Amino acid sequence: MAARCFGVASWLASGCDRGVPDLNQLEGSQMPRSVTCDVRPVVGPGTWRTVGVGEALGLGKKVLKRCAECRGKVKAFSASKSNSHEAHIEHVTRHAGCSLGDCYDGAGKRPHPVTVL
């Protein structure tokens, strides 16, 4: 998940209005997992291009990363050592208007309130 929420108030403040999920009942395959993102160099000219999570991990902090759908800031995560979680992309700040996030409200896709340009 993009940000750890420890209570209903912080979950609601993050833009998710479906309550706090029981993480013990979610299997890895049920959790939303994006495996691509847009990247562009932090310094110098460059255009956005879509890459897979493996390449995004390899590029590290040399590039800005954003969601290909809502244009919000994302972070790439490698697979867990125990293989319980695959490599994936997560939003840094949750957004209920992105179907690739973990709190999509189903009310239609919308740009992230804080887009990465």
How do residues 60-102 score in pLDDT, each as one tens digit?
Answer: 999 999 999 999 999 999 998 988 889 999 999 999 999 999 8
109: amino acid identity, one letter:
K
- Residue whose token pair is 């954003």: 66
How do residues 13-33 score in pLDDT, each as one tens digit?
Answer: 444 544 444 444 444 444 457
Other CB atoms within 10 Å distance of the CB of residue 101? 27
Give the contacts of 43 (CB within 8 A, at least 6 positions apart): none
Phi, psi torsion values for 24, nearest 5 degrees: -70, -20
User: pTM surpassing 0.75?
Assistant: no
